[in-house]
Chains A and B, each alone.
Chain A
Amino acid sequence: MAAMKRLFGRPEALRDVPTHYCPGCPHGIVHRLIAEVIDELEIREKTIGIAPVGCAVLAYNYFNCDMQEAAHGRASAVATGIKRALPDSIVFSYQGDGDLASIGTAEIVHAAARGENITVIFINNAIYGMTGGQMAPTTLVGQRTTTCPDGRDPRLAGFPIRISEMLATLDGAVYIARASVHNISHLLKAKRCIKTAFQVQLNGEGFAMVEVLCACPTNWGLSAPEAMKWVEKNMIPYYPLWEIKPLLKEGVVRD
């Protein structure tokens, strides 16, 4: 009898441990997509991931590769240090919106401007998850959080930041995409974006980032299915999907 072909299983780049994430939280989904990409590109043994403060701070327990935990907002600086020290390694950071779009804006802007050859996965869930649901720089106008209990008022708190569009203006940023994982078809496309962002690094092309729109059912006060719908209905119109800055030529260093 022919050996059975394995069609689905845990990626090697993901450890066989339960995560601490809330029910319906997409952090686990995005971890898996990254792990699958790492496996497919066969780079696990030279990958170093960076998990800064945020709900995913414990990602170092979940990814089965070398990991560094970083201070809140500093992941892209830490990634810069690692990649410059070990140019042959593959370095990715996994940052929340509070981390990347608020306290770490200087770090991300300059990493992109320098064209650091790193891959950034940016989780935009429009809220501060770990600290219990405060307003994020990406919180939508009118969205309620514990620090804008009546909904975000732009006269007081300004407008949500579209970081991907901002970074796309920088010459050092080679590939910037925005994806969503609220349903299967989007999830599969999100994985393709993540894979491209790693390939850009493998090709030595420069800075690549994928923003992933994610639900936060717990802090949004919604059920998981409701939260997924909320992403589609409210976030995607404000944060348009897919290639914000496409590769000029697939897999080729720009001249």
Chain B
Amino acid sequence: MEERLLMKGNEALAEAAIRAGCRCFFGYPITPQNEIPEYMAKRMPQVGGVFLQAESEVSAINMVYGAAGAGVRAMTSSSSPGISLKQEGISYMAGAELPCVVVNVMRAGPGLGGIQAAQGDYFQATKGGGHGDYYTLVLAPGSVQEMMDLTFDAFDLADKYRNPVLILCDAILGQMMEPVELKDEFITQLQPKPWATVGAKGREPNVINSFYVSAEEQEEHNIKLFTKYQRMRNEEVRVETWRMEDAEIALVAYGTVSRIAKAAVELMRQEGIKAGLIRPITLFPFPEKTIHDLAFNVKAFSVIEMSMGQLVEDVRLAVKGVAPVKFYGTTGGRLPTPESIFQKAYELMNELTRGENGCYEKIIR
């Protein structure tokens, strides 16, 4: 049975976490993610779970560390400046191989930044984020429905890999309301976690730890972590391709921007430009192969971000020079419009075709 409801992104995410079996939430207030802790404060007691407002983001993530180490599904959420503070704990959790879900409802930066939607934390999210050799899985929802669905998956993935999973969204996805199908599913039974510290009853003690005294042991551990990340690359890549079958120009965008990019594709198609969209849903692992393969079919890529050129670097690495890759970004909390995306793509196609058949304008009605 599914229930159809109108929900805010942040609340949909929080409800999904509860249904996915999250029983510990530790957070600290910051706009634009406050609906998540507020929802948890109401909802956790109803399911016998823990909601605790921590004294800081640093403490919150370390509480998650403790709870996750004790075998409980645990989550924290914040927005950009707070996520920076959580990096210490995320690095420790990656090192100690602890599962958890961390939600970043991105706002503008650097520094305090503004509270409007932005995507400037892409590098931080996808390249590890804290110190040391590690990655976290990064899921980028594009709708309120996906805020729910990916949150469900995030907890499973975290447990499957014993690794932190990041949900990277932004102020718009967090705040907007959309109809959602609410799965009537409550996860109560988890896979056993024999490594968890729950008291050494009738067994040798368990230790949760990211510290290795010798370089050899640390190297061995890191190599083991990277085998895990390779498995994620092989098994967990998710990407949506839309109208790419005959596309000459591929727009690449994730999250909120991908929605605007879809409108831009429609606009371009109306004008006779064969455009399509590639929307990475996992940002790590990155849909490298899909993008590389499609590079042979298109004339160019236009990468659209609400940041000053971060996603574009991964796209360029994936395309490997097969086709030109152009960047179009807005920053500071400003949004691109379908028209501005159209304009940039049009200029790009014009540049590429000039000399061959004069001007790209010719093929436009």
Q: Which residue in chain A gives the minimum CB-CB distance to B202?
A: A45
Contact partners of B213 in chain A: CB under 8 A: 58
Query: Is B342 located at the chain interface by the 8 A CB criterion?
Result: no
Q: How far is the CB of B307 from chain A (nearest CB, A)?
A: 29
Residues of A within 8 A of B68 (CB): 81
A71 beta carbon closer than 8 Å to chain B: yes
**Of B56, B70, B201, B205, the contact of A81 (CB 8 Å cutoff):** B70
Contacts of B211 in A (CB 8 A): 57-58, 69
Measured CA separation A85–B69 after assembly (Å): 10
Contact for A66 among B67, B205, B210, CB less than 8 A: B205
Does A45 contact B52, Cβ atoms closer than 8 Å? no
Q: Is the CB of B63 within 8 A of A80?
A: yes
B208, CB-defined interface residue at 8 Å:
yes
Cβ–Cβ < 8 Å partners of B200 in chain A: 44-45, 64-66
- Cβ of B59 and Cβ of A67 under 8 Å apart? no
Q: Which residues of A contact B89 (CB under 8 A)?
A: 71, 74
Q: Are B63 and A78 in contact (CB under 8 A)?
A: yes
A102 interfacial contact with B, CB 8 Å: no
The residues in A between 55 and 80 inclusive whose CB is less than 8 angstroms from any CB of B are: 57-58, 60-61, 63-71, 74, 77-80
Q: Is the CB of B209 within 8 A of A66?
A: no
Nearest CB of chain A from residue B131's CB, rounded to whole Å:
11
Instruction: Report yes or no: A84 in contact with B207, Cβ–Cβ below 8 A.
Output: no
- The count of chain A contact residues (Cβ–Cβ below 8 Å) is 35
Contact call A85/B67, Cβ cutoff below 8 A: yes
- Chain B: which residue is nearest A57 at the CB level? B211
Residue-by-residue, is B47-87 near A (CB-CB < 8 Å gives 1, otherwise 0)?
Answer: 00010101110111011111111111010000000000000
B197 CB → nearest A CB, Å: 4
A residues in contact with B69, CB < 8 Å = 68, 78, 81-82
Q: What chain B residues lie within 8 Å of A84 (beta carbons)?
A: 24, 50, 52, 63, 67
Task: Indicate if the CB atoms of A66 and B207 lie closer than 8 Å.
Answer: yes
Interface flags, A46-62, vs B, CB<8A=1, else 0: 11101000000110110
Which chain A residue has the least Cβ–Cβ distance from B72?
Answer: A85
Q: Of B26, B96, B198, which one neighbours A69 at CB under 8 angstroms?
A: B96
Q: Contact between B207 and A80 (Cβ–Cβ < 8 Å)?
A: no
Give the nearest-CB partner of A84 in chain B. Answer: B50
A70 cross-chain contacts in B, Cβ below 8 A: 62, 65-66, 92
Known: A69-B96, A85-B66. A60 touches B59 (CB 8 A): no
**Cα of A71 to Cα of B65 in the assembled complex, Å:** 10
Tell whether A107 is near chain B: CB-to-CB under 8 Å: yes
Return chain A residues, CB-CB under 8 Å to B202: 45
Chain B residue nearest to A50 in the complex (CB):
B66
Contact B70 A77 (CB under 8 A): no
Let me know if A110 is at the binding interface, CB within 8 A: yes
- B30-55 contact mask (Cβ, 8 Å, vs A): 1 or 0: 00000000000000000000101011
B23 in the interface (beta carbon within 8 A): yes
- Please tell me if B218 contacts chain A, counting CB pairs below 8 Å: no
CB-CB < 8 A to B24: which residues of A?
Answer: 81, 84-85
In the A-B complex, the 10 residue pairs with the smallest Cβ-Cβ separation, listed nearest first, are A81-B66, A81-B63, A77-B62, A66-B197, A78-B66, A46-B199, A110-B55, A85-B67, A74-B62, A81-B67
Which A residues have a C-beta under 8 Å from some C-beta of B?
44-48, 50, 57-58, 60-61, 63-71, 74, 77-86, 89, 106-107, 109-110
Name B's A-contacting residues (CB within 8 A).
23-24, 26, 50, 52, 54-56, 58-60, 62-72, 74, 88-89, 92, 96, 197-202, 205-211, 213
Name 20 extra pairs, CB < 8 A, besides A48-B199, A66-B197, A107-B59: A46-B199, A50-B66, A60-B207, A60-B209, A64-B205, A66-B200, A67-B197, A67-B205, A67-B206, A68-B65, A68-B207, A71-B65, A74-B89, A77-B65, A78-B62, A78-B63, A80-B59, A81-B62, A81-B74, A110-B54
20 contacts between A and B (CB under 8 A): A44-B200, A45-B200, A46-B201, A60-B209, A65-B205, A66-B197, A68-B69, A69-B208, A70-B65, A71-B89, A74-B88, A78-B65, A80-B66, A81-B24, A81-B74, A84-B24, A84-B52, A84-B67, A89-B70, A106-B59
